[in-house]
């Protein structure tokens, strides 16, 4: 990707072991959704160029953050609620794949969904006096293990976005109960549109594969996508 081979270290422990130890779980490997979203950002660099980008639930790979940094984001804040995973593998992967001259444009930061304190601290990492990120990316965070955290996830979207923020989601449908996320999103004032299937990398198309969504605070979605 981005004219280079990316080398992504992953965890030896299984997700099950980490979950049993009290971690949030399922962040030990890079999921298809992360590849699909990273590929989308790679092909649409204008979305991130010179922008502030927040990745939510980046897992061990932080793949979308890496590609956003390589594609010219002003600042990328890669976050996950699993602080150990973040301090260990995500940081290693960011350092290994973002060249020195762009290293200052990406930071890892612990962010548990729903934590205003951590959300505000993430915003301060942008170095600008902004009240929101320009772009938020999140791959495979809408999933059954996190059903109870959907409200908190949307709280974090609300805390860190404004009507101009473009939120890109890569979502792999695995269970009907995940629909509650999209219902809650609409109830909380966000519009959500599915991007055309052709925007998904050809290796990942089909019902069992991730789909891409663009989410924005409702009043602005039509205007901003038309710009
Ligand atoms: C399925 S993994 C996806 C990882 C990566 N985005 C990918 O697609 O490869 C979901 C990630 O969300 C994080 N996560 C789950 N619940 C969370 C919460 N309440 N707050 C913050 N992060 C959370 C997990 O630690 C995990 O890294």
- The average confidence (pLDDT) of the chain is 90
Asked if residue 63 is part of any domain, the answer here is: yes
Asked if residue 190 is part of any domain, the answer here is: yes
Which of 226, 222, 212 is CA-nearest to residue 168?
212
pLDDT of residue 184: 97
**Which residues are bridge partners to 207 per DSSP?**
none
CATH number at residue 92: 3.40.50.150
Number of domains in the chain: 1
Asked if residue 6 is part of any domain, the answer here is: no
The confidence band for 90, taking pLDDT boundaries of 50, 70 and 90, is confident
pLDDT of residue 168: 98
pLDDT of residue 54: 98
pLDDT of residue 220: 54
Q: Which residue has the tokens 């409200």?
A: 151
34 lines ligand 1 (CB under 6 A): yes
Q: Say if residues 25 and 104 touch (Cβ distance below 8 Å).
A: no
Pocket test for ligand 1, best of 59, 79, 118 (most atoms within 8 A of CB): 59
Asked if residue 153 is part of any domain, the answer here is: yes
pLDDT of residue 219: 72
- What integer is the mean pLDDT of 168-175? 96
- What integer is the mean pLDDT of 36-43? 98
The confidence band for 27, taking pLDDT boundaries of 50, 70 and 90, is low
Asked if residue 186 is part of any domain, the answer here is: yes
Domain range for 87 is 15-226
Asked if residue 217 is part of any domain, the answer here is: yes
Quote the pTM value: 0.92
pLDDT in tens, 193-208: 999 999 999 998 887 8
Q: Say if residues 71 and 59 touch (Cβ distance below 8 Å).
A: no
Q: What is the DSSP code (8-state) at residue 73?
A: B
Longest dimension (CA), the chain: 47
Pocket test for ligand 1, best of 22, 38, 81 (most atoms within 8 A of CB): 81
Asked if residue 26 is part of any domain, the answer here is: yes
The C-alpha atoms of residue 39 and residue 88 are separated, in whole angstroms, by 24
pLDDT of residue 132: 97
Asked if residue 4 is part of any domain, the answer here is: no
The C-alpha atoms of residue 8 and residue 146 are separated, in whole angstroms, by 24
């Amino acid at each position: 990707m981005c004219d280079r081979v990316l080398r992504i270290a992953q965890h030896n422990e299984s997700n099950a072991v980490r979950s049993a130890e009290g971690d949030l779980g399922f962040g030990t490997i890079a999921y298809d959704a992360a590849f699909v979203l990273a590929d989308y950002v790679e092909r649409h660099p204008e979305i991130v160029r010179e922008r502030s980008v927040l990745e939510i639930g980046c897992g061990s790979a932080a793949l979308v953050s890496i590609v956003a940094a390589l594609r010219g984001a002003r600042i990328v804040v890669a976050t996950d609620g699993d602080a150990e995973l973040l301090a260990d593998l995500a940081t290693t992967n960011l350092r290994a794949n973002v060249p020195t001259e762009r290293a200052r444009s990406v930071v890892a930061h612990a962010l548990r969904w729903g934590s205003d304190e951590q959300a505000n601290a993430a915003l301060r990492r942008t170095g600008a006096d902004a009240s929101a990120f320009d772009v938020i990316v999140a791959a495979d965070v809408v999933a059954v293990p996190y059903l109870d955290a959907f409200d908190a996830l949307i709280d974090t979207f609300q805390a860190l976005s404004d009507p101009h923020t473009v939120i890109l989601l890569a979502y792999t449908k695995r269970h009907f109960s995940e629909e509650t996320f999209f219902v809650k999103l609409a109830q909380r004032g966000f519009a959500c549109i599915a991007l055309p299937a052709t925007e998904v990398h050809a290796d990942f198309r089909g019902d069992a594969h991730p789909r891409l969504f663009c989410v924005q605070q409702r009043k602005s979605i039509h205007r901003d996508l038309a710009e």
